[in-house]
Structure 1
Amino acid sequence: MADRKGRVAGKVAIVTGAGSSADGIGNGRAAAILLAREGAQVALLDYHKDAAEETARMIREERGDCIVIEADVSSEEACRSAVQDTASAWNRLDILVNNVGTSRVPGNAVDLDVDAWDRGLRLNVTSMMFMARHAIPVMKASGGGSIINISSITAFQGGHPNLFYPTSKGAILNMTRTMAGNHGADGIRVNCIAPGFVYTPVVYGGGRLPEGVREKRRDASALKTEGTGWDVGYGILYLASEEARWVTGVVLPIDAGVSAISPHFQTSAQRLSY
């Protein structure tokens, strides 16, 4: 059994995108495992139930407590139902991790597919609003809570070859700040993590990463090291815990310093965002 420190003991969490798109540890799976390891009861939401079930297997191997909820978070009804199922299981809700997102809408304003753009925005941005819309009343009734939205360092600057991804991820930054102001008086903290070039199943699954790019992504950082889903997961755990009780409205880059070493960042983002 993994060591538990109880940093979120007694809390109930929802993690969207809690599975992984291929074998391994993505941001959502890492967050779910760490929250459970630190004492939270975790609802694992994913469009692909089998992927969430694998995360559940990992958590239960460590004797953690979780449930699996198959959900398409681009549907408001699915979000409402998922929050209701979580509250019914454990009678409260303290933590929401909005992790679902897609980058697969290629093109600039002239040549992108508008229907794909609309679907992508609903998944990357609107789904976070849907989840918060139904989670916040339950969090208020539970005495407060923490919402963590996942953006990307591509939200910080231009230079990306595709219009959709940095646009949608940039919207999450101001949504986070505005939600923090809207709900702070209710004891609800809202923060954002902007991952850098982490090596996760969404990157290497399906052979999407061209030869040599993994090394270039690593070398683009100030630390010259490769990040994983665990690095993002530990950031989520911190923001979910009482250690961050006085932290709200922040955007936390977890990127080994890539976004700090401008002007190299723009070129790196353009070449290496997969």
Structure 2
Amino acid sequence: MTSVTRKLEGRTVVVVGGGQTPGQTAGNGRAAAITYAEAGAKVLVGDRDLDAANDTVKAILDAGGEAWAATVDVTDESSIVELIGTARQMWNRIDVLHNNVGVSLAGGDAVITDIDAEAFNRVIDINLTGMVLTCKHVIPIMREQGGGVIISIGSLASMIDYPYIAYKTSKAGVVAMTQNIAIRHAPEGIRANAILPGLMDTPMAIENRVGLGGKTREQVIAERNSHVPLRGRMGTAWDVARAALFLASDDAQFITGVALPVDGGQSLAVG
């Protein structure tokens, strides 16, 4: 983590999925919430695990930032409505919505010939439908206030050879959703962009793969590192967070509808 200038001084941010699964490194949602707060934003951290959200908030408060925790289940529209309502009640505006929800193997994902319909629907509900519904309830607020920024975390898996059908399909949907919002709500001053993380050293990416096929943590990390052209090592959640901060800030005021790979050049490694 490196310090950032206070590009979001006084602005309000809702991070959906701002806790994280247990692990040895920072997750994308937690890193984003901390980075937004460090940049001067007031941050509402939503997560299905309130303890995980509170851990993120504690890190922000300990560093002198402003943050609050809330429970949200993105598979329950009423829970989303409650989260967004909390933010509006607190601030009367939402400047940035950061969508950071995603599940793959932990949701039962598989290759297409092995996928179970229930597992496929579960992954789609979490990864895509939840983001659609969150945007549904934030866009009217942003329209009323004269603009805002929506950042949704997709995945490089939507662009490359990735075996698990539900994750790939859902994350491709995140890009399509982002483009739809960007063009239809541009006249209202709402910018929408997606970030496509490549291979990242995050708890969700690593912990769910340790033990698969008997692989150790070191083997999982080494294998993932081997696919990254830039210095031969994975990125971190802080790389994603810094990209999100750029897109949320006025530095990106003329950027909308973009799907930005943060991947160490992996998307270029073809042939």
> Structure 2 length normalisation: TM-score?
0.92
| 2:122 maps to 1:115 | no
- 5+ residue gaps in structure 2? none
Matching residue of 1:125: 128
Matching residue of 1:268: none
| 2:249 maps to 1:241 | yes
Matching residue of 2:82: 81
Question: What SS class does the counterpart of residue 264 from structure 2 fall into?
Answer: coil
Percent identity of equivalent pairs: 36
Q: 1:45·1:69 contact (CA, 8 Å) conserved in 2?
A: yes
Superposed counterparts of 1:13-24, under 5 Å: 13-23=13-23, 24=25
Deviates more, 1:178-187 or 1:202-211: 202-211
| 2:240 maps to 1:232 | yes
Matching residue of 2:60: 59
Q: CA deviation at 1:111?
A: 2.7
| 2:204 maps to 1:190 | no
Which of 139, 142, 147 lines up with 2:145 in the alignment? Answer: 142
Superposed counterparts of 1:1-274, under 5 Å: 5-23=5-23, 24-104=25-105, 105-157=108-160, 159-205=161-207, 208=210, 210-211=215-216, 212-223=219-230, 224-263=232-271
Identify if the C-alpha distance between structure 1 residues 4 and 82 changes in structure 2 by more than 3 Å, giving closer, same or farther: same
Identify if the C-alpha distance between structure 1 residues 261 and 109 changes in structure 2 by more than 3 Å, giving closer, same or farther: closer
Aligned length: 261
Q: 2:17·2:101 contact (CA, 8 Å) conserved in 1?
A: yes
Q: 4+ residue runs of structure 1 moved beyond 6 angstroms?
A: none
Q: Distance in 2 between matches of 1:200 and 1:218?
A: 13
What CA deviation, in whole Å up to 9, does each residue of 1:149-186 have, x standing for no partner?
111111013x3322111111111111111110111111
What CA deviation, in whole Å up to 9, does each residue of 1:45-80 have, x standing for no partner?
000000010000000001111111101011111111
Q: 2:192·2:256 contact (CA, 8 Å) conserved in 1?
A: yes
Amino acid at match of 1:173: V
Q: Distance in 2 between matches of 1:242 and 1:10?
A: 13
Question: What SS class does the counterpart of residue 185 from structure 2 fall into?
Answer: helix
- 5+ residue gaps in structure 1? 264-274
Q: CA deviation at 1:3?
A: 5.5
Identify if the C-alpha distance between structure 1 residues 3 and 176 changes in structure 2 by more than 3 Å, giving closer, same or farther: closer
Question: What SS class does the counterpart of residue 44 from structure 2 fall into?
Answer: strand
Identify if the C-alpha distance between structure 1 residues 174 and 3 changes in structure 2 by more than 3 Å, giving closer, same or farther: closer
> Structure 1 length normalisation: TM-score?
0.91
Q: CA deviation at 1:260?
A: 1.0
Q: CA deviation at 1:201?
A: 1.1
